[in-house]
Amino acid sequence: MESIKNLSSRQISFIMNTALIFKEKDYRSEDLKDKIFGLLFFEPSTRTCLSFESAIHRLGGKVIKYNSNYSSEKKGESLEDTIKTIDMYIDVFIIRHPEKNIISKIKKFTNKPIINAGDGDGEHPTQALLDLFTILKYYPKYPNKIAFSGDIKYSRTIHSLVYLLNKLCPDIEFYFVCDKLLEPSNELLSSLKKFKICNDLDYIIKFIDVLYVTRLQKERFNGEIIKSYIIDENLIKNSKSKLIILHPLPRNEELSKDLDNNPKSKYFEQVENGIYVRMSIIYNLFE
C-alpha cells in the first residue's frame, strides 16, 4: 500500500468492515502466526509504529524492528543494500521515511508487500483509513463539509485523507484553514470539485461537520515564521452539535487540552481505531 490513490472502493470497504468486526470482538488470533513483519522507521513515530506492532501481535504475527540509529546505515550502507538484506528476514515491509515517494524507489529492491507508514510530506495511507473509519462512525453517509486546519502543505495525513474522501464522496466540500505559506498544492486542489481556502475559523466553525486539526510540521520548514491557528473550547462554542474534532497526533499548541473531555473530541478514539484498522490492513494482505 503505497498511496491511498491505488486502493479500490471495494478494498476500502473490505478494510472498514473487517476493522469493525475486529473492534467489536476485540479480536485476537493466531491467523498470521507464520508471518514476519519488518518495521523500518527512518523518522520518529509513536502511534503508527506501536499500533502496527500491537495489531501484528493481536493477529499472532512476528515483528522485527529496524533501528536506523544502530544499523549499518551509520557505517554508510545504502538504502538499497539495507532493503535487500531485510527482504531475506521478513514477509512484509512497513516503512516510514522522510523522503516523499520513497516507496516507489524501494519497490525496485524487493518483491515483498510494502505498507507506506508515511513518506515525507507525501502520503500516510493507513492514517487516512483510520481517520475514515472514525468519521464513518459519526457520519455513516459521509459528512457534507470538512475543514482542515494547520499545516496543509506538509501534512501527509491530510493529503491521504483528502484523496480518500474525495474518491469515495466527491460532493464533500473541503475547507482549508492555514497560513498563506502552508496552502495545499495545486496537485491536491486540482483533484477536488468543491473547496475553499480561508482563514476565518470563527465563521466556518458554525457549519462544518468535521474539523481535522494538524500541528505545524516544523521539521519540514526552512526557518519561516508561520501563524498557528489555535483550536479551543471558546472557538467551538458556536459549532454544530454533531461536529467532531480529529487530530492525527502528536499535538503541539494548536489543539488545547481543554478540549480533551469535550464529547466532540475524537482524537483519542482515532488512536484506538488505529489498532483495528491496521489489523484489518495486514489481515487483508493475505486474504
Binding site for ligand NCD (CB under 6 A): 47-48, 118, 124, 127, 156-157, 214-215, 248-249
Position with the least CB separation from ligand NCD:
248
| 46 part of the active site | no
Task: Read off the C-alpha cell for 226.
Answer: 508561520
Nearer to ligand NCD, 116 or 157 (CB): 157
Whole-number Å distance between alpha carbons of 209 and 241? 9
Tell me the closest approach of the beta carbon of residue 268 to ligand NCD, in angstroms.
12
If residue 67 lies in a helix (H) or strand (E), which one and from where to where?
A: strand 62-67
The beta-strand segments (E) located in 141-253 are 145-149, 173-177, 194-198, 210-213, 244-246
Nearer to ligand NCD, 109 or 159 (CB): 159
| 75 part of the active site | yes
- Per annotation, catalytic residue among 18, 48, 126, 157: 48
Tell me the closest approach of the beta carbon of residue 51 to ligand NCD, in angstroms.
9
Tell me the closest approach of the beta carbon of residue 158 to ligand NCD, in angstroms.
9
Strand order of the sheet with strand 244-246? Answer: 194-198, 173-177, 145-149, 210-213, 244-246
| 58 part of the active site | no
Nearer to ligand NCD, 95 or 109 (CB): 95
Nearer to ligand NCD, 214 or 265 (CB): 214
Whole-number Å distance between alpha carbons of 59 and 52? 11
Residues facing residue 176 across a β-bridge: 148, 197
